[in-house]
Structure 1
């Protein structure tokens, strides 16, 4: 009976971990997408919200910031930060599948 309790506890732990990983990836992708929207929409760069989102998006881009360097800076943000957002969604999906296999 003790072994069944441990197995059930492990399953609950992994379920919580999966939810945390999924939410973290979603938040990262959402911040990157919001940064793209604010940039393409020409949001005021001196606004506090715009500065916060920009400051949060830069480290989340994980080196994708300058992957493409088109002449149009808005297109560069769309491509680079958009790819970074997709990267977060793909990595999160893979991580949750790996964690689910550990259940």
Structure 2
């Protein structure tokens, strides 16, 4: 090796192809978790968009506003009338904001549980017992 060539070149016979194989169950768990995350975030965004439309005084007769209102009612988890303050905008903010947060929490919990149960790996300790 000379000073002008700091690294030794490998011949094609010496080169190694490194292939990282992922366990099939890992791919399934990652895909399932990605789908769950997308759905939960989408539902939270629909609820947030409905809040924005209500605060911006969007025309309720508009097709897009009706579409978002219908969808937000479908994904509000029954929380649309949980709190009933006098102001309709505040009611929408509190109830649908809470539903959006709940969707995000549901997504986090589900993906965590699926990963914890479905991924191969070392034995996980769910609890510890004191041995005397």
Indicate which of 46, 65, 74 corresponds to 2:80.
65
Aligned partner of 1:97 in structure 2 is 112
Q: Flag structure 2 segments of 5+ consecutive residues without an equivalent.
A: 1-20, 120-132
Aligned partner of 1:80 in structure 2 is 95
Asked which structure has the greater RCO (Cα within 8 Å, sep 6+), the reply is 1
TM-score of the superposed pair, with normalisation by structure 2 = 0.72
Q: Which has the higher helix share?
A: 1
TM-score of the superposed pair, with normalisation by structure 1 = 0.91
Q: Flag structure 1 segments of 5+ consecutive residues without an equivalent.
A: none
Aligned partner of 2:45 in structure 1 is 30
Q: How far did 1:74 drift?
A: 0.7
Q: Deviations over 1:62-81 (max 9, x none)?
A: 11011100010110000000
The structure 1 segments of at least 4 consecutive aligned residues displaced by more than 3 Å after TM superposition are none
RMSD between aligned alpha carbons? 1.2
Aligned residues: 98
Q: Deviations over 1:34-89 (max 9, x none)?
A: 00000111001111110110000001001101110001011000000000000000
